[in-house]
Amino acid sequence: MEIKEYGEFGLIKHLTEKFPLKNKSSLYGVGDDCAVIDVDPSEGKTVVTTDLLLEGVHFDLTYCPMRHLGYKACVVNFSDVYAMMGTPRQITVSLGISKRFKVEDLDELYAGMKLACDIYGVDLVGGDTSASMTGLTISITCIGVANDPVYRNGAKVNDLICVSGDLGAAYVGLQLLEREKAVYYQEYNDWKRNGAQGTMPVFKPKFEGKEYLLERQLKPEARKDIVAKLNEAGIKPTSMMDISDGLSSELLHICHQSKVGCRIYEERIPIDYQTAVQAEEFNLNVSTCALNGGEDYELLFTVPLAQSELIQQISGIRLIGHITDERLGAAMITRDGNSEITLQAQGWNAFASSESKK
Amino acid sequence: MEIKEYGEFGLIKHLTEKFPLKNKSSLYGVGDDCAVIDVDPSEGKTVVTTDLLLEGVHFDLTYCPMRHLGYKACVVNFSDVYAMMGTPRQITVSLGISKRFKVEDLDELYAGMKLACDIYGVDLVGGDTSASMTGLTISITCIGVANDPVYRNGAKVNDLICVSGDLGAAYVGLQLLEREKAVYYQEYNDWKRNGAQGTMPVFKPKFEGKEYLLERQLKPEARKDIVAKLNEAGIKPTSMMDISDGLSSELLHICHQSKVGCRIYEERIPIDYQTAVQAEEFNLNVSTCALNGGEDYELLFTVPLAQSELIQQISGIRLIGHITDERLGAAMITRDGNSEITLQAQGWNAFASSESKK
């Protein structure tokens, strides 16, 4: 079905009517000049984050299903709120949509958003919908509450550096998707060159046993569970952020803003087995994937040394190093223990080249 | 200067460091996973609005200077907050930037945003900056407070319908810009056809005496002053919204959401002299420009009949009609008083055609 058959307001109504408000603080949602939120001061401060996703830069619809895209677009925002030790409550969603998209595509996108909102307890309260000249544009703003927000600037010398989950899988998953995309186009071109007889032979991407890598890239989760566990254990990290641009880049943010240095241990960086196997197949250094790959949406945080035992009792958290004096810089001690590699922000610099990394 | 020389984080720092936080409620701005806002419950509820502006759809950089664009992109969001009888306090700004833009272009854009933020007392607290494949994308979310938000759904039978300022000028201004753009390209093509000798003769667009129309299109203001006057006079409108898609479309929103009808009088619609003259030159019906033109960013609201005298003492507000029973529908009584024209939402439907209206 063509989008123009709905018109702008009909389309908004169609897409958002499946999102009844769940949170007490969501007083008024879609349908007026503004959404209205009743912030309960006993819940703490209001936190706000926003992410812009552009087709061809941040996502590739060749292999990213609309439903997964909707889910991921929400989750990357929730992740920023959890990274303040907050709770996401509301989102606004703005879309720019080119003529090649049908209502059914948007239904899929919103189905993914609805799933994410349901799982994380978030309300869709507003947005803006517009035509675009080319491609799909998604801009999401997330509003949440944080009782006692944790910033990037509070890390102290001797604090322990912790990460949740494992790293590098999303990046390796992306390489896998890109490889199979290239194979597909090769087969397609071969078929065309040979006269394009009949229908093209069915293309079967080689993804068996690699589901974890794909899921990490296409349908990441935000670490709500880790924030809950830290709260339960009464641990307030001294600094925290989520890992969207790679461990290296994020650690440098914390060091820079906290005016400290750090040492992490290569052997302590958590890597999933599938990530390691696939990185080897690609001839990639798996530590480099973890340091510079990005899109892991795990939490990176620091806790005082005195909480060492407490933090080690929580499953899913790995101690990877410690904070040092600023003059010592930020470095990784290699697996053999003999050398230090200075950490560099080789995460995604979208402006550095015309080829996008993700 | 090329944007890639800064990198993403350097660019964000460069662009946002000229925006010191002004509001007490802006606890933490740019530089972490989230901005942090300390909502003072005595100030009322939190209101949130968002707007997505896409190059080639919402703006044309041929005649829209970057500085004006930055100003307008902010103001259209503030306007939505005032339309709830609120006060804008914070914005987040997300940009998608293609390679043809230089740092100097963004400096101009942010200079316009800074001017708007200074004039309206708003803080820039966050955002996202990314490369884009084509053109410029601007997504702004505005957060404000409203003591007692005014919705679109509260209009009652016999309420008076009011508008601030005058209507149709922004639309006529756009036609003027489009005409001069066409003339410019014609002169350019003529010069090329004649061998493109020397430099092209200087093009002088015919804008003398039409400054008001251009300003209404390129640098609109939000009606902060009207909200202040209503508050001073102790008037709480029963419904309110801002006019971004044309009077006709907005009145239908209020009627639909309030489950009422309306009658407005063509002769009461406020039209500026320049608008009328220029519309005639273009052979446009000036009432149609006011009803369907859009981008006026004036306030449309309803007040109880009992406040008729009070409202008429406020300068800059015009009574244009009244609310009726729903069964009577929404219509305009023509200038001669003899006939009724049913109002139709002919405002901007971005999905109806590939040619954008604004």
Report the distance separating Cα A159 and Cα A305, nearest Å: 5
Q: Using the beta-carbon criterion (under 8 Å), do B49 and A34 form an inter-chain contact?
A: yes
Angle, vertex CA B52, rays to CA B35 and CA A170, nearest 5: 60
Q: Which residues of B touch A141 (CB under 8 A)?
A: 48, 50, 92, 141
| Domain range summary for chain A, segments of one domain joined by + | 3-146, 160-174+212-342
To the nearest whole angstrom, how far is the Cα of B101 from the nearest Cα of chain A? 11
Residues B44-77 have pLDDT tens digits of 999 999 999 999 999 999 999 999 999 999 999 9
Q: What is the pLDDT of residue B356?
A: 37
Q: What is the pLDDT of residue B327?
A: 97
Report the distance separating Cα A345 and Cα A358, nearest Å: 16
Q: Using the beta-carbon criterion (under 8 Å), do A46 and B46 form an inter-chain contact?
A: yes
Q: What is the pLDDT of residue A355?
A: 38
Angle, vertex CA A191, rays to CA A185 and CA A197, nearest 5: 145
Q: Using the beta-carbon criterion (under 8 Å), do A352 and B3 form an inter-chain contact?
A: no
To the nearest whole angstrom, how far is the Cα of A146 from the nearest Cα of chain B? 9
Q: Using the beta-carbon criterion (under 8 Å), do A7 and B57 form an inter-chain contact?
A: no
Q: What is the pLDDT of residue A145?
A: 97
Q: What is the pLDDT of residue B50?
A: 97
Please say whether the beta carbons of B82 and B227 come within 8 A. Answer: yes
Q: Using the beta-carbon criterion (under 8 Å), do B131 and A39 form an inter-chain contact?
A: no
Q: What is the pLDDT of residue B134?
A: 87
Q: Using the beta-carbon criterion (under 8 Å), do B54 and A99 form an inter-chain contact?
A: no
CA B255 to chain centre: 21
For the beta sheet containing A123-131, the strands, ordered from the edge strand earlier in sequence to the opposite edge, are A123-131, A87-97, A137-146, A45-54, B35-37, B26-28
Report the distance separating Cα A302 and Cα A292, nearest Å: 20
To the nearest whole angstrom, how far is the Cα of B212 from the nearest Cα of chain A? 26
**φ and ψ of B95, to 5 deg:** -125, 135
- Nearest Cα to Cα of residue B60 among A301, A65, A133, A78: A133
Q: What is the pLDDT of residue A353?
A: 46
In this structure, the strands spanning A87-97 and A123-131 are parallel
Q: Which residue has the higher pLDDT, A4 or B304?
A: B304
Q: Is the pLDDT of residue B352 over 60?
A: no
Question: What is the pLDDT tens value at each position of chain A, 358 positions in all?
Answer: 888 888 878 889 999 999 999 999 999 999 999 999 999 889 999 999 999 999 999 999 999 999 999 999 999 999 999 999 999 999 999 999 999 999 999 999 999 999 999 999 999 999 999 999 889 999 999 999 999 999 999 999 999 999 999 999 999 999 999 999 999 999 889 888 888 888 888 888 889 999 999 999 999 999 999 999 999 999 999 999 999 999 999 999 999 999 999 999 999 999 999 999 999 999 999 999 999 999 999 999 999 999 999 999 999 999 999 999 999 999 999 999 889 999 987 754 555 543 333 3
Q: Which residues of A touch B97 (CB under 8 A)?
A: 351
User: Which residues are within 8 A (CB) of B243 and not within 5 positions of it... i.e. 6 or more apart?
Assistant: B163, B167, B250, B294, B296, B297, B298, B299, B300
Test the A interface: residue of B6, B24, B33 with most A CBs within 10 Å = B33
Give the closest of A45, A94, A95 to B38, CB-based. A45
Q: What is the pLDDT of residue A6?
A: 85
Report the distance separating Cα A250 and Cα A255, nearest Å: 9
Q: Which two tokens stand for residue B179?
A: 């005409």
Please say whether the beta carbons of B123 and B92 come within 8 A. Answer: no
Q: Is the pLDDT of residue B196 over 90?
A: no
Per-residue 3-state assignment (H helix, E strand, C coil) for chain A: CCHHHCHHHHHHHHHHCCCCCCCCCEEECCCCCCEEECCCHHHCEEEEEEEEEEECCCECCCCCCHHHHHHHHHHHHHHHHHCCCCEEEEEEEEEEECCCCCHHHHHHHHHHHHHHHHHHCCEEEEEEEEECCCCCEEEEEEEEEECCCCCCCCCCCCCEEEEECCCCHHHHHHHHHHHHHHHHHHHHHHHHHCCCCCCCCCCCCCCCCCHHHHHHHHCCCCCHHHHHHHHHCCCCCCEEEEECCCHHHHHHHHHHHHCCEEEEEHHHCCCCHHHHHHHHHCCCCHHHHHHHCCCCCEEEEEECHHHHHHHHCCCCEEEEEEEECHHHCEEEECCCCCCEEECCCCCCCCCCCCCCCC
Q: Using the beta-carbon criterion (under 8 Å), do B47 and A58 form an inter-chain contact?
A: no
Answer yes or no: same fold for B3-20+40-146 and B160-174+212-342: no
To the nearest whole angstrom, how far is the Cα of B335 from the nearest Cα of chain A? 30
The architecture (CATH level 2) of A3-146 comes to 2-Layer Sandwich (3.30)
Q: What rounded mean pLDDT belongs to chain B?
A: 93
From A3-7, A107-111, B240-244, B303-307, the region with the lowest mean pLDDT: A3-7
A with B: how many residue pairs have Cβ under 8 Å apart?
A: 239
- Nearest Cα to Cα of residue B244 among B48, B117, B83, B113: B83
Q: Using the beta-carbon criterion (under 8 Å), do B351 and A6 form an inter-chain contact?
A: yes
Q: Which helix (H) or strand (E) holds B51?
A: strand B45-54
Which ipTM score applies to this complex? 0.92
**pTM as predicted:** 0.94
Find the residue in A nearest to B79 (Cα): A33
Find the residue in B nearest to A45 (Cα): B38
Test the B interface: residue of A58, A89, A139 with most B CBs within 10 Å = A139
Task: Give the CATH number of domain B3-20+40-146; options: 3.30.1330.10, 3.40.50.300, 3.40.50.2300, 3.40.190.10.
Answer: 3.30.1330.10
Q: What is the pLDDT of residue B100?
A: 93
Query: What is the gyration radius of the CA atoms in chain B, in angstroms?
Result: 22
Find the residue in A nearest to B37 (Cα): A46
Give the orientation angle of helix A273-281 with respect to helix A169-193, to 10 degrees. Answer: 40
Find the residue in A nearest to B98 (Cα): A351
Residues B202-228 have pLDDT tens digits of 888 889 999 999 999 999 999 999 999
**pLDDT band at residue B240 using 50, 70 and 90 as cut-offs:** very high
Find the residue in B nearest to A151 (Cα): B32
Q: What is the pLDDT of residue A71?
A: 98
Report the distance separating Cα A120 and Cα A191, nearest Å: 45
Q: Which residues of B touch A351 (CB under 8 A)?
A: 3-4, 6-8, 11, 97, 131
**pLDDT band at residue B357 using 50, 70 and 90 as cut-offs:** very low
For the beta sheet containing A26-28, the strands, ordered from the edge strand earlier in sequence to the opposite edge, are A26-28, A35-37, B45-54, B137-146, B87-97, B123-131
Q: What is the pLDDT of residue A350?
A: 52
Q: Using the beta-carbon criterion (under 8 Å), do A141 and B92 form an inter-chain contact?
A: yes
Give the closest of B8, B57, B352 to A349, CB-based. B8
Residues B136-169 have pLDDT tens digits of 999 999 999 999 999 999 999 999 999 999 999 9
Q: Is the pLDDT of residue B201 over 90?
A: no
Q: Which residues of B touch A37 (CB under 8 A)?
A: 45-48
Q: Which residues of B touch A49 (CB under 8 A)?
A: 33-35, 92, 126
Q: What is the pLDDT of residue A246?
A: 94
Task: Give the CATH number of domain B160-174+212-342; options: 3.20.20.70, 3.90.650.10, 3.40.50.11900, 3.40.50.300.
Answer: 3.90.650.10
Phi-psi bin for A165: left (phi > 0), alpha (psi -120 to 50), beta? left
